[in-house]
Structure 1
Amino acid sequence: MPTTTLHSDTPEISVLDNRKAAIRTLRYQRKDIAEEVNERIEWHTFSSLGHLTSTTDARFFTNNTACNFQYHYALNGKALRTDSVDAGSSYVFYDIEGKPLWQQDARATQQHYDYDLLGRHTERRETLAGETSAVRERFCYGDSGEINDDGRKNLRGQLAKHYDTAGLLDYSVMGYGLESSPLQQQRQLLPIETDSDWQGSDANGWQQALTGDTYTTGWRYAADGQVLQQTDTKGHQQRSSYDVMGRLKASSVTLNGDSEQSVLTAVSYNAAGRKLREQAANHIVTDYSYEPETQRLLGMTTTRGNTRLQQWHYSYDPVGNITALANAAEVDSYFNNQQATAVRHYQYDTLYQLISASGRENPGQSSVIDNPAAIVPPPDSGQYVPYTRNYQYDAGGNLTQIQHQADNHHYTRTLRVSAHSNHAILDTSTVTRTVGHIEEAFDACGNQQQLDTGQRLLWDGLNQLQRVTTIARDSSEDDDRESYSYGADGMRVRKTGTTQASGGNTLQQQDVIYLPGIELRRTHSNQVVTEHLEVITIGAAGRSQVRLLHWLDGTEPDAIANRQWRYSLDDHLGSSHLELDDSGNILTKEEYYAYGGTAVRTAKSTREVKYKTIRYSGKERDSSGLYYYGYRYYQPWLGRWLNTDPAGTVDGLNLYRMVRNNPLTLSDGDGTSPSKDDVKGMTREIKHISRSAKVVRENLNKSDQRIVATAGLNIAISSLAGPINYAAGMLVPPIAVAPAMLAGLSGTVTGDLTNRALNKVADKAVGTDLSHTLETSKKPKGKPVLGRYSAPVADYGFAIATGNSFPYAVTDASSASRSGNYVTKNLTKASKLIYDRQTLAKQAYHDAHTAADRIKMLADTVNTIDESSPALAIIKMRMGVKKAESRLNALKEDAYRIGYPAGYASKHFGPGHIGIAAHFEVNRNVKFDYIDN
């Protein structure tokens, strides 16, 4: 007789209509084997044309009160209006090429987008409700005639200057490299708490609006696009080196005027590409172990000599949820007759939502925002008590209750959820929360208006948090507050905290400027600098986060050495548990509740805690208690986001839910969508390979041959962006990269900086319907996805680009020959590929198409080019194509002969990126041959 378990009779069932569209999804929930199963029905409706018109989650389906989303479409199939119970109603109008022209959100904030004759984004104007229009962003390109030597700088078709909401990003000084990566950027900022408005056409006037400081960052790259060296705005250099597979193996940092110091000395990997061992320069060694069948992380052990600092052991259920997490480096402790162990246990319901978590905490914890009552120094580290937390959720996935049980310390947090949306606020014993109270706590776009502690929140026109008022006074100018400004990519550029002290006689200001590789932190008291701190953030430090604190002008604090190294040892989520100095001594220790609050915190001193800024999930926690993730802010004491997901429904219909209510197994890197640790690791390994894969996936899923052809050109442009950007962008229509949530921010197929800066959000929004048809364990069969390429206009654009945007313009036979040689020399570098059959085959298959189409378009070009062009240039260009074909065919034959050992691949294709041969025949049919190692 079969055994009944918690998950018995709880399948997920999809009901399809006669068009194979999923009109209902049935899930079954229970959290105890003795309970009856709760049926959860998600309902979708479609138009006669197959467009999704509404979607309803289980809560609203049962109550029959509302639809989570409703969509209204234009004749071309684009959504013109979207109605959301959480984010309100939004509208988008497009031009004939599918580019957004106008948007309006539920707060009546309007965004207007302007383009030049080439279809490139030039301006974003914003009109807040009841206010006049302001130009929030302006884009200037390298081929505008204002940039000297734009061809040699690879600036043609590229973004040269971007006036954004934080100030100015200038790429025109050094331009771009072959991989379309900037060689240098200069950042200038607007004054604190100043909104951008780049009206008119006077660049001198725009310059006057900026502060006088210029922050310059430079990069050097390997042939495959990986960063070899970064020089930050203060002249500090970070260097990275890689093995033959392109994986990080060592890194170092050189302070300006000082000698080079190692950070990471060695890294080893297993056959699946997972890290086995990391050795840091402070003699800290971390070893990793994995489950052979699934590559799930089983253990992480960090040692200093013979001393174990961390020894994590992970236990999983059959689907990969973490059920136990133990730190064997910690001993059991006893306090107030209570035993506390360093083992945490987790339980889930049948929907894999966390329902119970147990562990240890400091005694006397706060019941408000999960901050420890006091800093416990290491000599008293035995002061731990065990706790258990139970979690409850409604049918819409809202966390509705947290029950905390510990020795003489019990409390319950209850969240009241609106009956008409997923808006929710903390319930208190003094106020009865009605639906009206709940909805008043959010604006029309679903942005929370104040924290549960009463701190007011202010949002900008793009629904980004602009200010938190910590203490309100009669005059808003006298408020204690923290203000934020953001760059073009939506990431935070500046944070400024302002407080009144000494009865209003002292104005204190803490200013943080976030730049590549460094944070500039200054503290002022009545405009006098009392602390000047540079925090060098080491980007290539392995799994640990390494930060180097460098004080200037004699402002370092007592009892902390200048140039202090802080090595952060994390868990699988990236949460910082231990901070060590360069000698391996413990500076701080912190443990976390399941949803991110602080359960345990000890430190060498309270001063050391002040300089720990990276905490849960590797994110910064602000003075408000909010965690900054990138695109959103997170409330750890409530286990939910502060506003709706800017990526839409990529994480489900509830736009406030945190990582599908499974915060141990899943994590969120930027505030848009959850992922597992193993997926994140592989993503980091291959992200530098195919920067335009998202565009290809989206457009290949559309049955439009012209768009498919354009996508093929786009991926070629991404791989050889420097040489071919200019004319391709002039002649080929742009592609919409993502749905309406990115409206106005995608550029032409040449890819402006704004488009690249939004890669993270775009990647969440773009479908992957084609990818699942590629079996990773078998060689692909059938014809290439793109099939026979026929797009004369695009080919002609490619030909002109070849002549006009290479370092040598094709104006005569000699320079044409140099251009052809340039093509031949760099094609193999641009056709780099990673091969790992189990995990990377799908990515490699797309990259094989990339290599194929580059040669194919060159071949088509010489057959369709206007013969009235200089004859000798045509001949030389044709010779360049033949050389390229001959070179790749020769490499293919050699690869078959010797089986692609790593050294051979590295020699001919750059650092170990080959495992696939792209074979081109004379008739231009393309074959892809997978080579087994």
Structure 2
Amino acid sequence: MSKGIHARTPTVNAIDSRGLSVRHIDYYRCKAEERAQARITSSHHDTAARCSQQWDAGQTNTSMPPGLTSIKSFSGQVLRLHSADAGWRLSFPGEAGQLLEQWDSLGGHWKTAFDHQLRPVSITQASPQQPARVIERLSYGDNSPACAALNQCGELIRHDDDAGTLLIEEYTFGSQPVRQTRHFLCSETPVDWPLEQAQRNLLHEAGPGYQTHWRYDADGAVIRQTDAGHHQHCFAFDVAGQLKSVSLKLNASLEEITLAKAFVYNAAGQLESQTSGNGVISNATFDPANGRLRSLTATASGTTLQDLHYQYDAVGNVMQIEDKAQSARFGNNQKVEAISRFTYDSLSRLTRASGREAASHLAPLQLATSPAIPIDASQLFNYTRHYDYDSRGNLIKLQHVREGHQYTRTLSIAGDSNRMLSWNQGDNRPDAAATFDANGNLQNLQPGKSLQWNPRNQLSSVVLVQREDGRNDHERYHYDSSGQRVRKIHTTYTSSVTHNREVRYLPGIEINSSTGQRLETINIQTGRGTVRCLHWREGQPAGIETDQLRYNLEDHLGSSTLELDNQALLISQEEYFPFGGTAWSASRSAVQARYRTLRYCGKERDASGLYYYGARYYAPWLQRWISPDPAGAIDGLNLYVMVGNNPLRYTDRHGNQKEESSLRQELATYPSILSEVNKRVGTLNYQLYNSTRKRDIIKRLFQRYAYNAGRHILALGAGLLALPTGPGGAVIATVATSLSIDAAAGKAEATRHLTVALYPQTRRLDPEEIKHEGQTAFYNVTAKLQYAKDVTLNPRSETGQKNLSVMATGFLLTKVLEVKGAWIPNFEASTQATKALDGLPGQKIERMNNALARLDDFLEQDSHAINAAFDALGVDEFYPEGLKGRLGQATDRAADAVGVDSSNLISRTSLQRDIAVSRATIQRGRELLFRHNERNKSQGRFFV
């Protein structure tokens, strides 16, 4: 990291009088001797303080058309969104906020019908190329005994979409699917779903469909999945909910094959070690100061297969990767080492990369061949790449240099958007309308390779070879209602024969079929890496063993670098250029290489050379996406840029959001931490406010008496009703009822004060305890319970001794002396009321004031850390990882609320606003403490 490049390049945020960010300034410098250039992003907010217009750094002043414009309703819903990259979209919501109709710049029109519970039941689509047709129908379970037996009441049980029909035939109590069946359409013609279910069934392929089963543990984690090929994927977890083993049981086999075991995690939950079924031991080391990956090693029988070592600059950019498992090679008057080095500008964009490549890499678009293992040393060369970007972040020049071969690629970008117009040096500058459609989708990969898109901006087909007679080789894609690809059909023509190869994507398995062949590829994630099993039903080729297991070793990005068989012998090996192109590869044989599909970032590369990420497609030779980000401007106003032009640090798992997982997880948990702060400080403020007058204290005391008595009666009644099940059932029913009553009372505004102690407790303001409580609120219930056990019931700690003594006293009074259960909490309430009537001692006031001041300092530090984290991520908002994030994103898309203030995004603005609210609550508590102190002084007691 060059200090000269980063000297005097701060990030500046200009805030208006309402506390809204109106200008964001970054300072760009690529070389230390250059003068830093200001890159300014501007925003305009409406009278309701909502962002309505944004200009990026390429739009030098606000007199130019904005890069993003939004018009919102009074409730904050987006009515019209116009992006320079993605065109415009108009939305018409209903009274309850449900999305009724949508239009886009290509002339697409969607209408959604809802039932009386505001659940969508059908979606109708029309476009200039197609008449109106029903593209989706949704059915829900009723309250019949049949639905109740399968937990289907109110749940989605049938979904007809463009790919076919999904039947969810059973749910768990937690609304997780237990059994589902996918039926595919018998024709590729766009379907218009009729109303009658019997008529819809006639559109399916013949047969029972493809069924998947799941089994879950008590925490909702999948412990067994039976895929459509009747193969069982088995997972085991430890008491902390962490994966500890993975196995596979093939169809009609009695043997369960262990794929991974002996998982070891560090205190931060990072996977440090695992042992694969082929005997390979994988180890990872992390920097204890910041959690960054230091090394990845893989060994088998004393042989080191992979030994990657990482070096970073001060902000976390990867500066060097060295594979110490591979020795230096000599050839062509060069020493070729397995070391890649990287350089960045002041905006953390990659500007220079060096490494090694194969001699066969001659053209930007050429798909690399796989020579035999071991690769000839004379076929490897050192290379260097230089990258130049415009002010908007578009790659405009790539210079590739190696001895005996170099080329320069220049890209032209439209002046009013980030759409790329050409990529070959010397090409005539084409019309933007001919290169992209109105929604920003690329129309051609190169001459003769055209792209077709459906009205939902999903790639529907790619022409691979164009012929004059129109019999073009092509690949076609079909998607389900969630936008995920479920079918791929590859068609090639010869003079007399048409060849079709098809892949069907189902949970945990891909079914490949072609003339005379049927292959089931079973995919299982095994911690750090993926195992793929090739199970042939028909037409197994020579040179591949039956039920071949392929173990993938990955780098820090999840890219497949080595494929190993069941004896840990090498099947294939590959290295990549920084943005995903193949630098060199080798394989055991051409047949073996043919069945390798997962490559860069663990994604599938199609015959076109495009990588499929889930939400869209990526062209590694262009180093950009071929369509705008469907999630909107989450990663900035440039909707085509790949991970902020920093592909060594960031990944994009689904094609809609760059991420650096550790920072994102910390930021995603912070709202729950703030919620815990507000809850505890709010409780303190309530206690302080209602502890100044005797009548308020007495009133609260008698309310607690009545509440405790009522709770005891209800809990005792529940225990008596459960007594026929045995003493254990009665105890469980009693405790569960008591806890449920407390939880319900704590949530209701009218009864919340009944569960609040009458006398304030300073220990509840400890920042570390609040942080832990907030972090584990949603993400790690097991750890939360363990923490409670370790801290609150530990006989070695003061808190544990106190709690254990209270429990022992309670047992003595209720079980031995048969004192009524409600007397204990009433006695505790009386003790607290007595203390409150005596007033708060000066020492207590001082301790609480110091605790609040310390908590306020923590929040101030967090505010600065949050800004630094968002700056490091290079985004201002994102969706959290995991199920919560996926549900939030799906909800926002359904309501057309992506990017709206009320969306489920984790944003810099919302976190800073919530911190300000929490600090104001703390300040209110300190003011109340001051009033108590002044009251003591006026009465001549408890002077501080």
State the TM-score, normalizing by the size of structure 2: 0.73
- Structure 2 equivalent of residue 483 of structure 1: 476
1:536 to 484, 508, 522: 522
- Structure 1 equivalent of residue 163 of structure 2: 166
1:149 to 146, 149, 161: 146
Letter matched to residue 86 of structure 1: D
- Structure 1 equivalent of residue 864 of structure 2: none
- Structure 2 equivalent of residue 121 of structure 1: 120
- Structure 2 equivalent of residue 616 of structure 1: 600
Structure 2 matches for 1:184-583, cutoff 5 A? Answer: 184-199=179-194, 201-213=195-207, 214-258=209-253, 259-369=255-365, 371-372=367-368, 375-381=371-377, 383-429=379-425, 431-434=427-430, 436=431, 438-473=432-467, 478-501=471-494, 503=495, 505-524=496-515, 530-539=516-525, 541-553=526-538, 555-583=539-567
CA distance in 2, matches of 1:618, 1:371: 17
Residues 1:370 and 1:37: Cα distance change in structure 2 (over 3 Å): farther
Count of residues paired in the alignment: 739
**3-state SS of 1:675 partner:** coil
CA distance in 1, matches of 2:334, 2:783: 64
CA distance in 2, matches of 1:569, 1:101: 47
Deviation at 1:257, TM superposition (A): 1.3
Structure 2 matches for 1:836-847, cutoff 5 A? Answer: 842-845=774-777
Letter matched to residue 527 of structure 2: G
Residues 1:531 and 1:307: Cα distance change in structure 2 (over 3 Å): same
Residues 1:481 and 1:665: Cα distance change in structure 2 (over 3 Å): same
Letter matched to residue 394 of structure 2: N
5+ long unaligned stretches in structure 1:
525-529, 684-696, 698-766, 789-809, 853-887, 905-920, 924-933
C-alpha distance after superposition, 1:10-38 (max 9, x if no partner): 01100011001110001100111001111
Letter matched to residue 682 of structure 2: K
CA distance in 1, matches of 2:321, 2:790: 49
Deviation at 1:850, TM superposition (A): 14
- Structure 2 equivalent of residue 742 of structure 1: none
Deviation at 1:194, TM superposition (A): 2.8
**3-state SS of 1:205 partner:** helix
Q: Does the Cα contact within 8 Å between 1:363 and 1:383 map onto a contact in 2?
A: yes
- Structure 2 equivalent of residue 76 of structure 1: 75
C-alpha distance after superposition, 1:548-576 (max 9, x if no partner): 001123x1111111111100101000000
Q: Does the Cα contact within 8 Å between 2:330 and 2:377 map onto a contact in 1?
A: no
- Structure 1 equivalent of residue 7 of structure 2: 8
Q: Does the Cα contact within 8 Å between 2:42 and 2:62 map onto a contact in 1?
A: no
C-alpha distance after superposition, 1:815-851 (max 9, x if no partner): 999999899879999x9xxx99899764424579999
Cα RMSD (Å):
3.6
Residues 1:657 and 1:772: Cα distance change in structure 2 (over 3 Å): farther
**3-state SS of 2:320 partner:** strand
- Structure 1 equivalent of residue 793 of structure 2: 897
CA distance in 1, matches of 2:110, 2:541: 47
- Structure 2 equivalent of residue 783 of structure 1: 682
- Structure 2 equivalent of residue 179 of structure 1: 174
CA distance in 2, matches of 1:293, 1:894: 25
Letter matched to residue 244 of structure 1: V
CA distance in 1, matches of 2:521, 2:47: 58
Mean Cα deviation higher: 178-187 or 622-631: 178-187
CA distance in 2, matches of 1:823, 1:194: 60
1:597 and 2:605 equivalent? no
1:666 to 629, 650, 659: 650
Letter matched to residue 776 of structure 2: A
CA distance in 2, matches of 1:508, 1:820: 68
Deviation at 1:609, TM superposition (A): 1.0
Q: Does the Cα contact within 8 Å between 1:372 and 1:598 map onto a contact in 2?
A: yes
Q: Does the Cα contact within 8 Å between 1:159 and 1:171 map onto a contact in 2?
A: yes
**3-state SS of 1:6 partner:** helix
**3-state SS of 1:552 partner:** strand
Deviation at 1:420, TM superposition (A): 1.1
CA distance in 2, matches of 1:561, 1:586: 14
C-alpha distance after superposition, 1:605-642 (max 9, x if no partner): 11111110000000000000000000010000011001
CA distance in 2, matches of 1:548, 1:847: 32
Deviation at 1:895, TM superposition (A): 7.2
Q: Does the Cα contact within 8 Å between 1:423 and 1:439 map onto a contact in 2?
A: no
CA distance in 2, matches of 1:851, 1:81: 44
C-alpha distance after superposition, 1:757-798 (max 9, x if no partner): xxxxxxxxxx998458479xx99842389x99xxxxxxxxxx
C-alpha distance after superposition, 1:473-494 (max 9, x if no partner): 4565x32110111112211101
Letter matched to residue 215 of structure 1: Y
Structure 2 matches for 1:679-698, cutoff 5 A? Answer: none
CA distance in 1, matches of 2:219, 2:127: 44
**3-state SS of 1:58 partner:** coil
**3-state SS of 2:47 partner:** coil
Deviation at 1:425, TM superposition (A): 3.5
Deviation at 1:74, TM superposition (A): 2.5
CA distance in 2, matches of 1:440, 1:523: 36
Q: Does the Cα contact within 8 Å between 1:167 and 1:210 map onto a contact in 2?
A: yes
CA distance in 2, matches of 1:497, 1:137: 26
- Structure 1 equivalent of residue 111 of structure 2: 112
Deviation at 1:513, TM superposition (A): 0.5
Deviation at 1:409, TM superposition (A): 0.8
5+ long unaligned stretches in structure 2:
688-717, 744-766, 801-824, 830-944
**3-state SS of 1:378 partner:** coil
CA distance in 2, matches of 1:562, 1:420: 56
CA distance in 2, matches of 1:676, 1:134: 41
C-alpha distance after superposition, 1:34-57 (max 9, x if no partner): 011111010101112212110000
Q: Percent identity?
A: 34
CA distance in 2, matches of 1:253, 1:658: 36
C-alpha distance after superposition, 1:796-818 (max 9, x if no partner): xxxxxxxxxxxxxx9xx999999
Larger radius of gyration: 2
Letter matched to residue 513 of structure 1: R
**3-state SS of 1:136 partner:** strand
1:649 to 633, 656, 678: 633
CA distance in 2, matches of 1:893, 1:582: 43
More helix by share: 2
**3-state SS of 1:198 partner:** coil
Deviation at 1:335, TM superposition (A): 1.9
Deviation at 1:188, TM superposition (A): 0.5
Deviation at 1:662, TM superposition (A): 0.4
1:86 and 2:85 equivalent? yes
Letter matched to residue 154 of structure 1: N
C-alpha distance after superposition, 1:641-664 (max 9, x if no partner): 010000001111100010011000
CA distance in 2, matches of 1:271, 1:848: 13
